[in-house]
Amino acid sequence: MRLGIKGKQVLGVTSIVGAVVVILSLLHLARLASVSLDESRARAELLANAIVNRASEVVVTGADPYGTLRGDPGLRSILTSSLLAKDVMFAAIVDPDGHAFVHGDVGLEGQPLPAGEDLASVIAKSSVSQIRAIYSGQGRNLEFHQPLLLGDKAFGSIRIGVSTLLIRNDLTASLRDAVATALVALAIAVLGAMVLAQLMLRPIHVIRTGLTRLGRGELGVRLDLDQADEFGELGTFFNTVSEQLSADRSQMAGQVANLESAVEHLEDAVGIVNARGELLFANPAMRMLLPAAAPGVAFETLLPADHVLRQLSEQTLVSRQSRGPVPAAFGDSGERLVMTHAVNDPKGELVGIMLVARNMEYLSQMQSTVRYSRKLAALGRLSAGVAHEVKNPLNAMMIHLELLRQQFATVATRPSTLREPQGRPEPGRGTTSSGRALAVTAAGPTVDREAALQHVDVIANEIRRLDEVVQGFLKFARPEDLKLQPVALATLFDEVIPIVRPEAERAGVELVVECGAAPDVNGDPAMLRQAFLNLALNACQAMPNGGTLRIHAEAVRPSRASGRPELVEGRGRRVSIAFADTGVGIRPEHLQRIFDLYFTTKEKGSGIGLSMVYRTVQMHDGEIEVQSTPGAGTTFRVLLPQA
């Protein structure tokens, strides 16, 4: 049977106390035995002296001593009364041949009296021998001897028998109280040992409870051990270790969460198998390939024996070498490129393997997307170059239209006609598209100057509009360098609102800004300022009859279930900036095109503003959402990374 520390302590204390009690009891018993033997010897000696004195009185020289003693009633009375003495079994006077001629029991007179062990020799022995002599067998008689002298000649001896059984009974009666006292002392010792063990073991119980809580994964476990002893020092050390473990576990939990989050969002199917072949982890992509995959399941039960991935995993477990990549089929899920990697501990021992199944179709799509992106980039560069080449002739046309307007202004005071000169054109007179010079002369047909100026204005306006389109295209297509830094939204809107307020006041729009508690975002202040300005101005223009523009910012994070942002307290992963108006709204058929370049529903719109907003948000690794109800209003919601 296994004993705990408490049981061992109680047993140890009880054993020590019991041993002490037994030793003291034995010493007490030895002392009582020695005293009892000495008292018996003293009583026997006293009785023998009485017999000697009586014999000396009745026996005279020349007379028969045996007959005299046998017939003396006084001696007979002494011998008979000796039977009443404590521990005395008999008293007799025997002749030299050992026959009792006077005995306390008349029936034994004349018979030989067997010799017993001498009482004096027992008293002279050790205490253990004395106890053994008293408690051995069914009891026996120890004899006290004293010779009877007639003159100088011994004619007999006095033998007094002392019973060890009677001595034993006396000792046992005397030991009852001592045994009871010893048992009470032993019981008190056991109780004291239990109380002492409880007090001594309480810190151990507290430490064990703390270790159990640590084993269950609890953080911040502390021990309340204020004792100024070794247990107190141990409690302080435990608290230090617990704090370190909590810090390490928190850091590790964060790293594991980041790792799991990264692995779970991989397109590749990833699983981890321990050295015993049990599945420890499988990301969603792996669970799609193997629906029965769950932690603790034997990997060999998930795939048939001839499957490539199972064979690679078994080879890696045996050889501890990575295998693959090798194509493998997964039923309806199609073909995957599978590989296995050995995972070793710092000592080089194999602790598991990592399984990877790469989606070749997804890689093909990614490669196709990359090729398409390269084509779009090349097309963008080409388009930007074409737009740049178109912009130069437009500038020249605007210059010459202005010169032509000045030419008409110089002849405003006199009639003028246009004729075609025969020589080179004079400087400052302008040129036609065919390269021929135009000269103002007094001869020839007259020209309506006002009508001509109107035509010039129309041409200038169209060229200016075309230039704005080209400028917008260049601004959209030209790459810009992001200067990312923490941006305070409250400060940013303090710069945007004064620009928007005049437009809002003209339209009767009330501005409400709620972003004081929003955290900073990570972005380019200039680009974000222009994007927010475009959204605010568009909202004001969507409320020609007045309304309310509410700008609200708050910290959000993606919901695990739906992927949609949800409001959180404190520090969030993203910041939401919502522009909600109560204007005319956007038609459903237009919602899919509002971010297309040059798409606009405004009479004088360029179709560039929302495209630039969308591009700015994408460059900041953000998202933009639109919700609109015709006649009720529109809400643009921008999600940006938190700084």
User: Tens of pLDDT along 510-567?
Assistant: 999 998 788 999 999 988 998 999 899 989 988 988 999 999 999 886 543 334 555 5
> End-to-end distance of the chain based on CA atoms, in angstroms?
64
Which helix (H) or strand (E) segment holds residue 506: the answer is helix 489-507
Q: Is the pTM of this model over 0.75?
A: no
CA distances (Å), origin 597, targets 373, 469, 490, 608, 639? 17, 10, 30, 6, 21
pLDDT for residue 382: 60
Residues 6+ apart with CB under 8 A from 495: 529
Q: Are 575 and 518 in contact (CB under 8 A)?
A: yes
pLDDT for residue 603: 66
Q: What is the mean pLDDT of residues 303-316?
A: 89
| pLDDT exceeds cutoff 60 at 192 | yes
pLDDT for residue 100: 87
CA 599 to chain CA centroid, Å, is: 54
Q: Where are the beta strands (DSSP E) in 559-632?
A: 565-567, 574-580, 623-629
Q: Are 438 and 432 in contact (CB under 8 A)?
A: yes
What is the average pLDDT score of the chain?
A: 79
pLDDT for residue 547: 92
pLDDT for residue 637: 94
| Strand pairing category for 153-163 and 88-94 | antiparallel
CA distances (Å), origin 271, targets 266, 277, 362, 560? 12, 12, 19, 21
The helix-helix angle for 525-541 and 609-619 (nearest 10°) equals: 140
Q: What is the mean pLDDT of residues 88-113?
A: 86
Identify the top-confidence range among 242-256, 385-399, 467-481, 490-504: 490-504
Three-class SS of residue 546? coil
pLDDT for residue 432: 41
Strand partners, 414: none
Which has more pLDDT, 233 or 624? 624
d(CA 284, CA 271): 10
Point out the least confidently predicted range of 173-187, 287-301, 399-413, 490-504.
Answer: 399-413
Q: Are 339 and 325 in contact (CB under 8 A)?
A: yes
Which has more pLDDT, 595 or 34? 34
| Strand pairing category for 350-359 and 269-274 | antiparallel
The alpha carbon torsion through 58, 60, 62, 64 (nearest 10 deg) reads 10
Q: 316-325: per-residue pLDDT in tens?
A: 888 888 888 8
d(CA 143, CA 162): 6
| pLDDT exceeds cutoff 70 at 396 | yes
Q: 628-639: per-residue pLDDT in tens?
A: 988 889 999 999
Q: What is the mean pLDDT of residues 105-112?
A: 85
Q: What is the mean pLDDT of residues 426-431?
A: 42
Point out the least confidently predicted range of 168-177, 366-375, 410-419, 472-481.
Answer: 410-419
The alpha carbon torsion through 31, 32, 38, 42 (nearest 10 deg) reads 150
Q: 332-361: per-residue pLDDT in tens?
A: 877 888 999 998 888 888 888 999 988 777
Give percent above pLDDT 70 in the chain: 79
